[in-house]
Structure 1
Amino acid sequence: MTQSLLAGAFLAALLYVLIPGPAFLALLGIGAGQGRRAGALFVGGHLVGDLLWASLALIAIIGAKTIGTFVFDALGLLCGFYLAWIGWNAVRAKPKGDGQALLVVERPFRRGLIFGVTNPKGYPVALATFTALVAGSASALQFHTLPVLLAVSFLGFIVADMILITIIGAGTVRRFYRSHERLIVRCSGVLFMGFAAQALWHATPGLLGWRKA
């Protein structure tokens, strides 16, 4: 196994987490509004999904059969409704009391877990990211290298999560969030519903058999 292959897997995992998306917006709200501990619990749950999609992407790259499109269309439908529910709650959120956050996630670990494993874009994004960064060492890609690659990817996920937790827990970020919390939460809710509409738009044709082969 070459050093370039290991470095590629690490960087792919790092970039996969740091690329902004629905999970990033959720983490921003949870971490800035409820603190680093809540943010860490969220990314801890989301890490399960990161490992799942990275594993499938690496298996596909190495040469195994990929999972059929029905699985991802079904996940897309589930994710769409889930994001729509989160977005609607964010748009309608009201403070529960003086000095309390506008939107409080009581179980951030569970929220992160659901976010991670129901994200239908996790697989294609992971596949594209890992392909771009490990394709140059294709000759060294074998099934017996998969455990090591996953271990290196896990390290990349952890480093990226630590970076995000540090950012969202910083005093400047938290003060800015508190000062503009209502606007940020409302805008995030609208964005979540936009992500939901996009997920449903792409998933429904496949489930109904309307998508062209």
Structure 2
Amino acid sequence: MKTAYVAVYETLADWEIGHLVVELRTGRFTGVPWTVVTVGESLEPVVTMGGMRVVPDVTIADVVPDEGDLLVLAGSGQWDVGGGEAFTKLAGQFLDAGVPVAAICGATAGLARAGLLDERKHTSAAKEYLQATGYQGTDRYVDARAVADGNVITAGPDSPVQFARAVLEQLGLADERKREAYEGVFHRADPAAYATLVG
């Protein structure tokens, strides 16, 4: 069974990765359930932005990037105060091992500061948001809901469904018809798309 490592830290933005994590863990629309492993800097519980208490399954030190299949980084307050360096270092190790990294909202700023977006097309909350990090990838910024390039999938905070869709595409877990139906159901509330999604 494939493994998705999900980074957890104080004020993690629950809603940003909710769609993705559910689809990976259940495989309800892809037919391929994954193991989801939460990763903390320590094994101490963290409290998400929504107030949920999460106890990490493992620490960063326990993770062997080339034994995983995906690293997921959500937004949180830490990214806007220059934090999260341990997780961006881990992201670099995943990418060096050829394993995809999916980052949404503030986590994209962390990747930008670490230089991981300089040579890859990417998106975020806004171009100006990433420019404030002083990174060198401004000319590769794409004004889109979600962008995948060079094993990095990025999205802004308003696009959790598109983020999930882009990651499923990157992982080869659903064909275009099913991905479009997924966005139809969960973003556009199109009841006609449901039959395609579950079919």
> TM-score with structure 2 length normalisation?
0.24
More contact order relative to length (CA 8 Å, sep ≥ 6): 1
Return the index of the structure with the highest Cα Rg. Answer: 1
Name whichever structure is richer in helix by fraction: 1
Name whichever structure is richer in strand by fraction: 2
